[in-house]
A = this chain, B = another copy of it.
Amino acid sequence: MENSYKNILEKFKKLLKKNELKFTKQREEILEAIYNSKSHISSEELYHSLQNPKIGIATVYRTLSLLESENFVTTFINSGVKQYELTKEHHDHIICNKCGKIEEFLNPEIEMLQEKIASSFGFKITDHSLQMFGICKECQKDNL
C-alpha cells in the first residue's frame, strides 16, 4: 500500500467509520495539511496553513488528538514544540540546532540494544524516543 494521498484518505475514512465518527470537510482539510507538510508540522503551522480560514483552532486540536490517539499520526517534541507526522515505519530524528533541519534515520542495532537494556531492567518496552541534536553539514560550513 503506497502512501499516496488517496490511500491516506481512505485509511482516514476507515478510521472514522470504525470510531463512528463523521467525515467532514474540516477533518479532511486538516488531514490534507499534514499530508502536504510532507514531513512534520506543528499545530500552529497547521492552523495557519489551512485554506478555509473559518476552521477554528479547537477543531485543529480536536482532530490532531484524534489522529494521535488512533496512532494515525506520531508526535515528537522539538524545541518545546510538538510536531506531528503521519505514522509510518518507526524512525528516530537528528535535528540541526542552527537551521532546524530534521533528518530521519533508523538503526537496527540501536533498536536491538534498547530491547536488551530494557529487559535487563525487567521492563517491557512499548515505545521510545531518540533525538540527536547538533549542527548539520551546511551550517558547519557557514561558520567559517
| Chain A residues within 8 Å of B, Cβ to Cβ | 77, 94, 96-97, 103, 105, 107, 109-110, 113-114, 117-118, 121-137, 140
Could you tell me the distance in whole angstroms from the C-beta of A143 to the nearest C-beta in chain B?
Answer: 10
**A109 contact set on B, CB distance < 8 A:** 109, 113
Contact of A105 (CB < 8 Å), options: B117, B122, B130, B135: B117
Contact between B140 and A121 (Cβ–Cβ < 8 Å)? Answer: no
A132 to B118, CA, bound (A): 8
Contact of A103 (CB < 8 Å), options: B114, B121, B124: B121
State how many copies of this chain the complex holds. 2
Q: What are 9 residue pairs bridging A and B, where the CB atoms are less than 8 Å apart in the complex?
A: A103-B123, A109-B113, A110-B113, A110-B117, A113-B113, A121-B137, A123-B134, A123-B137, A128-B133
Could you tell me the distance in whole angstroms from the C-beta of A142 to the nearest C-beta in chain B?
Answer: 13
**A137 contact set on B, CB distance < 8 A:** 121-123
Contact of A117 (CB < 8 Å), options: B77, B107, B113, B124: B107
**A121 contact set on B, CB distance < 8 A:** 94, 103, 105, 136-137
Could you tell me the distance in whole angstroms from the C-beta of A103 to the nearest C-beta in chain B?
Answer: 6
Could you tell me the distance in whole angstroms from the C-beta of A140 to the nearest C-beta in chain B?
Answer: 6
